[in-house]
Structure 1
Amino acid sequence: MPDLPQYSLFIAGQWRAGSQGQTLQSVSPATGEAWARFDCASPDDVSDAVSAAQAALDAPAWRDMSQTARGKLLYRLADLVAEKAEHLGRIETTDSGKLAAETRAQTGYVADYYRYYAGLADKIEGAVLPIDKPDMHVFTQRLPIGVVAAIVPWNAQMFLAATKLAPALAAGCAVVLKASEIAPAPMLEFARLIEQAGFPPGVVSVLTGDAENCAIPLTCHPGVDRIAFTGGPDAARHVVRNSAENFAVTTLELGGKSPILVFEDADLDAAANGLIAGNFGASGQSCVAGTRGLVQRPVYDALVAAIIDKCRNLVVGDPHDPATHLGPLCTMAQVEKIETTLAKAVSQGARIAFGGSRAGGDSAHYFQPTLVLADGPGVETLTVEMFGPVMTLIPFDTEEEAIQLANDSDFGLGSGVFTQNVARAHRVSRRIRSGITWVNTYRAISPMAPFGGFNQSGYGREAGQEAILDYTRTKTTWIDTSEDPMANPFVMR
């Protein structure tokens, strides 16, 4: 395979092959053909990356760098990300099948996450405490938490890496970034920008590989102080168990079955677009996909008709083609899971109003935008996260019923509310148990807005000002200013 691009591991500022010689091919979902290969990390490689991170934390180049200087490095990284957005987007589209229009735009916007935290780098402050002992001067400092294991999936990796790396680096941590073994090329390309930006060796290492040889050794490693994980609930349970080995502080951003509520007074065209954005954007491969559409009965039929009319104009095809709306799914396992789940839902009484099958042949990763209609909540498509372009609509009668249906889930990441009644928007959004609620829009992000979920959608928040504090530990310093210190050593001061 001499013509395939080769990606190595980035450890301690150097590119190197995996120590066990294991490699994997990366297959383009659009063509089904291998287009690149990459080295896989071994437990020894993981240990080397963590050791390099620990060494970087102790080395003057990073340890003694001022907070302002750290911010300037992040500004430089942001500029490089923006400059390389088209290149990184093209690599991500080839590797994962996501639309080129979105990967380019999202990568360009990701630069703002690095700029946001660059500006916060020298705003991390301690405090002088008004202590109740007049002969003591007591103050706090926010110090870097240490070595961070950042684990990201393939579906929005530039964004999800930024929500972890940007605050961690601004806080002065060192990071070992583990990319998914499915479509890892963008993260390995991104590592080149870390190098170009001028971060000291070991401050960021980028690995990829399987669970046994890479993810488990990383999350169990005694040198890891914090784990920032995005992925599925099953993998997260393993991460939490692994963190018992090192007591690492852990945050989890997991999946969802987000509800989108459409009330009878809603702008139906906006609601239809919101449901399409929430379900067919990124071909449904999004943790905030609004796959549970709850529609007030008086407008149910009209909204179904509007969605079907829009679906007829959606183009499924080459993700590099600007005319395409839905590209391929990243893996064949997703296609097969969708087919199994749809069959189960139909057997439970649901009906498929649009789509429902593969597009492009039995071996293709493409799936039609699919609309499922059900009379109530007891169908498989309302509980299983399929990670594909499938939405299910069910009717409701009252506001209270809508809220109950919205909260009838083990997940709680995103939600949407479409109504022109401002009081209702506030009332309903407050009662939905989700970390994010969009009103009269859907699937919007910002570096200033915290991102995270409730219930089995995880815990902790990414983005926003408070996220940077999660990468610090508070240190309290006491200074005795009296002239007769420790007068009685047997009595606590």
Structure 2
Amino acid sequence: MSFFEYAPAPESRSIVDIRSSYGLFIDGSFVDSVDGKTFKSVNPATEEQLAEVVEGSPADVDAAVAAARRAFDTVWGPMSGADRSKYLFRIARLIQERSRELAVLESLDNGKPIREARDVDLPLVAAHFFYYAGWADKLSHAGFGSDPRPLGVAAQVIPWNFPLLMLAWKIAPALACGNTVVLKPAETTPLTALLFAEICQQADLPPGVVNIVTGAGETGRALVEHPGVDKVAFTGSTEVGRAIARSVAGTRKRLTLELGGKAANIVFDDAPIDQAVEGIVNGIFFNQGHVCCAGSRLLVQESVQDSFLDALKRRMSLLRVGDPLDKNTDVGAINSAAQLARIRELSAVGEEEGASRWSPACELPDRGFWFAPTLFTGVSQAHRIAREEIFGPVLSVLTFRTPDEAVEKANNTPYGLSAGIWTEKGSRILAVADRLRAGVVWANTFNKFDPTSPFGGYKESGYGREGGRHGLEAYLA
């Protein structure tokens, strides 16, 4: 087999002006922390330090929540929906205007390929702000009562896999409904949230409507447990989600959780093989597998297992791993050393438990955090790699004979975030989808998102919905 050689096509870093240090964004301004603690944001592809970022303390969280409360009581809450929508439209347009800058910064800070940041993340970020800007003056028609009211101050904690997109999922509906926000980005990917703070300034958003407090777990805990918060929204691990649920139990706070997943991609014997292979690859290797709804379990019908796996391996051999800023790159860097260690640990366990491991030949860079796209066959439902969320570019392959067996295996997980079905029979799609215990079921596609569609899970994948009209409900009294 001959491979087409791609010349390097790196995106320029010069479009982004990264400061040497960043403060907290509170009450419309960047400020220093009360105790002066800082941490470093690192480029996972090279391990170079990008910037020094302030670590928010409980006193800083107090200041941010107080600023959000003032803005809610005096400006944003009383403001008409039509006027709120103007600000959201302005933010959406600024995101579009600065999309190349945001995409490059996201790729540098996160490790994801620039092609994904540019062509997937940023268009969706702008689309969410445009979509919810349209809802801001129509809330009485959303189906949540004739006079829906905002909750107040929303505490929002987002993960590192889609830093800017998760910010949009949280902030856009909260502001459209009249709430104010204190957001904590992940400690490994704070930079695009801080650039978004500059966009808020550029849009003349009233001070205190959006506040961004950077830091690690203790900062997040101080925020979600703060008595001045009316609503908590969290996207992240199931373990942390459980802790947050315990901390808000018995309080008046509203809570939505979008947690882990172990999605099954079910391939029937009549599926279009080339199309399904593309969907499987997109489902698990997109964003290095750092996707809560990643199709990390492939359930393939026994009669086509061999031919399908041959086609899948051929496609995996064409994946290009390397510099995230290269426009030819398919698989970028793992986000952190800690995440790389977990991926390596669970992959080693998979081999120890008897599964067969395969990766295409690919040369990984010497510096940074890298893991080759990996396939495990001979996997049983008892294997840890089939049960635990790896959150990396690792695919476990199981087989089935009948639709009933496929559904039983797909649902045999504590998670319930997403699933995929591949078949040419529309009746089979509807019959199987109706029995899958997953919040989102894709048919003959995977990882497709739209701001008009709700997203969320069942069981240990959390509760509540984000996106669409349903996403408004979590921010309305």
Is the TM value for this pair above 0.5?
yes
Corresponding residue for residue 72 of structure 2: 57
- State the Cα deviation string for residues 404-458 of structure 1 (Å, max 9, x = none): 0000000011100000010000000111100000000000000000010011000
The alignment's TM-score, normalised by the length of structure 1, stands at 0.90
> How many Å separate the matches in 1 of 2:284 and 2:379?
19
Flag as ranges the 4+ runs of structure 1 deviating above 2 A: 61-64, 244-247, 353-361
Task: Answer whether contact 1:220 1:245 (CA < 8 A) is retained.
Answer: no
Corresponding residue for residue 132 of structure 1: none
Task: Answer whether contact 2:163 2:189 (CA < 8 A) is retained.
Answer: no
Q: 1:455 to 1:356 in 2, by over 3 A?
A: farther
Structure 1 residue 120 displacement after superposition: 0.7
1:172 is the counterpart of 2:187: no
> How many Å separate the matches in 1 of 2:207 and 2:347?
49
1:89 is the counterpart of 2:103: yes
> How many Å separate the matches in 2 of 1:364 and 1:188?
24
> How many Å separate the matches in 2 of 1:295 and 1:28?
37
Task: Answer whether contact 1:356 1:369 (CA < 8 A) is retained.
Answer: no
Task: Answer whether contact 1:356 1:371 (CA < 8 A) is retained.
Answer: no
> How many Å separate the matches in 2 of 1:227 and 1:246?
11
1:44 is the counterpart of 2:50: no
Structure 1 residue 35 displacement after superposition: 1.6
Corresponding residue for residue 15 of structure 2: none
Q: 1:435 to 1:126 in 2, by over 3 A?
A: closer
> Which of residues 326, 329, 332 is equivalent to 1:321?
326
> How many Å separate the matches in 1 of 2:178 and 2:63?
20
Q: 1:245 to 1:223 in 2, by over 3 A?
A: farther
Corresponding residue for residue 71 of structure 1: 85
> Which of residues 180, 184, 207 is equivalent to 2:213?
207
Structure 1 residue 356 displacement after superposition: 9.7
Corresponding residue for residue 8 of structure 2: none
Corresponding residue for residue 123 of structure 2: 108
Structure 1 residue 376 displacement after superposition: 2.7
SS for the counterpart of 1:472 is coil
Structure 1 residue 357 displacement after superposition: 9.6
Structure 1 residue 55 displacement after superposition: 0.6
Task: Answer whether contact 2:107 2:117 (CA < 8 A) is retained.
Answer: yes
> How many Å separate the matches in 1 of 2:288 and 2:160?
14
Q: 1:39 to 1:358 in 2, by over 3 A?
A: farther
> How many Å separate the matches in 2 of 1:297 and 1:342?
24
SS for the counterpart of 1:141 is coil
SS for the counterpart of 1:143 is coil
Task: Answer whether contact 2:124 2:451 (CA < 8 A) is retained.
Answer: no
State the percentage of identical aligned residues: 39
1:427 is the counterpart of 2:431: yes
1:465 is the counterpart of 2:463: no
Aligned length: 458
- State the Cα deviation string for residues 343-392 of structure 1 (Å, max 9, x = none): 2112222101325999334x641111111102532222111211111101
Q: Residues 84-233 of structure 1: matches in 2 within 5 Å?
A: 84-105=98-119, 106-125=121-140, 141-212=147-218, 214-233=219-238
1:445 is the counterpart of 2:449: yes
Task: Answer whether contact 1:371 1:391 (CA < 8 A) is retained.
Answer: yes
- State the Cα deviation string for residues 110-141 of structure 1 (Å, max 9, x = none): 111111111111111179xxxxxxxxxxx952
Q: Residues 188-337 of structure 1: matches in 2 within 5 Å?
A: 188-212=194-218, 214-244=219-249, 246-337=251-342
Letter in 1 for 2:357: I
> How many Å separate the matches in 1 of 2:362 and 2:349?
14
> How many Å separate the matches in 2 of 1:358 and 1:250?
44
Task: Indicate the structure (1 or 2) with the bigger Cα radius of gyration.
Answer: 1
Structure 1 residue 469 displacement after superposition: 2.5
Corresponding residue for residue 13 of structure 2: none
- State the Cα deviation string for residues 31-59 of structure 1 (Å, max 9, x = none): 11212111111101100110111111111
CA RMSD in angstroms comes to: 1.8
Structure 1 residue 256 displacement after superposition: 0.4
Corresponding residue for residue 352 of structure 2: 347
Q: 1:356 to 1:53 in 2, by over 3 A?
A: farther
Letter in 2 for 1:279: I
Corresponding residue for residue 25 of structure 2: 10
